[in-house]
Chain A
Amino acid sequence: MDYNFHWRPVFKKLPDLLEAGLLTLEVAMLSMIIGIVIGLLLAISRMSGPKPLRIFATTWVELARNTPVLFQLFFFGFGLGAFGLHLSPYLIVLVGLSFNNAGYLAENFRGGFQAVPDTQLRAARSLGMTATQTYIRIIIPQVLRIVYHPMTNQMVWAVLMSSLGMLVGFRELSGETQFFASQTYRIFEYFAMTALIYYVIVKIVLGVSKLAARRLFRY
């Protein structure tokens, strides 16, 4: 083994890498928030929407689940270029991840809704609650409890998937790493550090989710 490891350039850029890590976290969080909202809408319209809406939602879910994420990013990045729509790298990743999250979460939500017994809905309605009230106060809190764990997993996936930003020119943690690595040719060292940062980010996400679960689901 006649390779000399040079870690100093990596440590010099560590603040930049950590900052890029925050950008990764930001885009993952935003895509999760958008994904949850759209995912809920998709799940509800798949279960009780009019037929065209149901077909639309099903198509979305199946496309998101059955094609590679990278394909989805390329599609939003270059495919839409055919219609003269050019998104910035940040938007490509945000839109692509939101599309993917919404598809996966919609399936989780659907499972969650089906796990809440119908009697809950009927009981709430017979107490005089409106349909909207029933959903917001009775059904969704129970669904949230069921889908909390899958949602945490999806958040971890969102963090990991955002690394594909590297391939569409987005300078989040991976893109930034590649940029620095190609400047110095210390590819192994930079990517080892980035792997460590991703590991820490994922552990933080899981830890925060565990703490939040303890507060949210006390009863």
Chain B
Amino acid sequence: MSDSVAFFSEFRATDLLFLGEAAGRTLLISAVSISAGTVLGIVFGWAISASRFWGVMTIGTILDVFRSVPLIIQLVLFYNFFPIIGLNLDPFASGAVVLSIYTAALVAQVARGGIEAVGQPMRRAARSLGMSYWQDLRYVVWPIGLRAVFPAWVGVALSVVKDSALVSVLGYVELLRASQILITRTQEPFIILAAAGAFYFAISYPLSKYSQKLEERWAS
């Protein structure tokens, strides 16, 4: 029987499972934040473009703050702010909330661009055909605007997947955090980091290429 405790041990097969679970958590928090953030962001973008002066002054200014402060600062700030107002959120919940607002701030800009890409003459034409305001939004602005900014939205979504790595600062064990834990134990930084990087790359690269292709096809 050995009396020394092994601090460092080799990379085992179960570690792959650990990394896989962590990758799942990365995908989970990204999916939640992208969905919530996109819905919020479209609403914000619509509000800004619907009432130019007050929209920009209120929502625009607030969202601008979220774009001008590093995500990691926002995460730490809100993680420590929620208990002050009596909310005890776990790292996943507060990470998802902050990441969603951050996504909404980015998507709002994209959505606003999409709505403004449609142009006043088209919208007046829709209204003069007897469409209501909401019909105009649903059947004219949405399909045209979506086409104009869908590639930009994919870019935002991918950047959120990558930025979700920062939630590790709250102690949420996502992929990058998990790889760091394994590195500390196995002292095998290069291979483990390369595996983590390959995972992000495998998600981001095909999607960004696909959206580039869409952009080229729709531009012509």
Residues 53-85 of B, flagged 1 when their CB comes within 8 A of A and 0 if not, give: 000000000000100111111101100110111
The reply to whether A163 and B70 form a contact with Cβ atoms under 8 Å apart is: yes
Residues 197-211 of A, flagged 1 when their CB comes within 8 A of B and 0 if not, give: 011001100000000
Report the number of A-B residue pairs with Cβ-Cβ less than 8 Å. 106
> What A residues does B85 contact at CB under 8 A?
1
Q: Contacts A65-B208, A66-B200, A78-B189 given: A163-B72 contact, CB under 8 Å?
A: yes
B134 interface residue (CB < 8 Å to A): no
Q: What's the minimum C-beta distance from B38 to chain A, rounded to whole angstroms?
A: 20
> What B residues does A43 contact at CB under 8 A?
none
Interface of chain B, main secondary structure = helix
Q: Closest A-chain residue to B76, C-beta based?
A: A191
B18 interface residue (CB < 8 Å to A): no
Among B72, B77, B180, B201, contact of A164 (Cβ-Cβ < 8 Å): B72
The reply to whether B204 and A192 form a contact with Cβ atoms under 8 Å apart is: no
The reply to whether A188 and B70 form a contact with Cβ atoms under 8 Å apart is: no
Q: What band does the interface of chain B fall in when counting residues whose beta carbon is under 8 Å from A?
A: 35 or more
Q: What's the minimum C-beta distance from B217 to chain A, rounded to whole angstroms?
A: 17
Q: Closest B-chain residue to A189, C-beta based?
A: B80
B205 interface residue (CB < 8 Å to A): yes
B197 interface residue (CB < 8 Å to A): yes
Among A79, A163, A198, contact of B194 (Cβ-Cβ < 8 Å): A79
Q: What band does the interface of chain A fall in when counting residues whose beta carbon is under 8 Å from B?
A: 35 or more
Q: Closest A-chain residue to B183, C-beta based?
A: A78
The reply to whether B201 and A66 form a contact with Cβ atoms under 8 Å apart is: yes
> What A residues does B179 contact at CB under 8 A?
74
The reply to whether A71 and B73 form a contact with Cβ atoms under 8 Å apart is: no
Q: What's the minimum C-beta distance from B77 to chain A, rounded to whole angstroms?
A: 4
Best-buried of B76, B158, B165 by chain A (most CB within 10 Å): B76
Q: Which of A56-87 contact B (CB under 8 A)?
A: 62-63, 65-71, 74-75, 78-79, 81-83
Other A-B contacts than A68-B163, A174-B73, 9 sampled, CB-CB below 8 A, are A62-B201, A65-B208, A66-B204, A67-B200, A68-B200, A71-B193, A75-B193, A160-B68, A188-B81
A-B contact pairs, 7 of them (CB 8 A): A3-B83, A65-B204, A66-B205, A70-B176, A74-B179, A161-B70, A199-B65
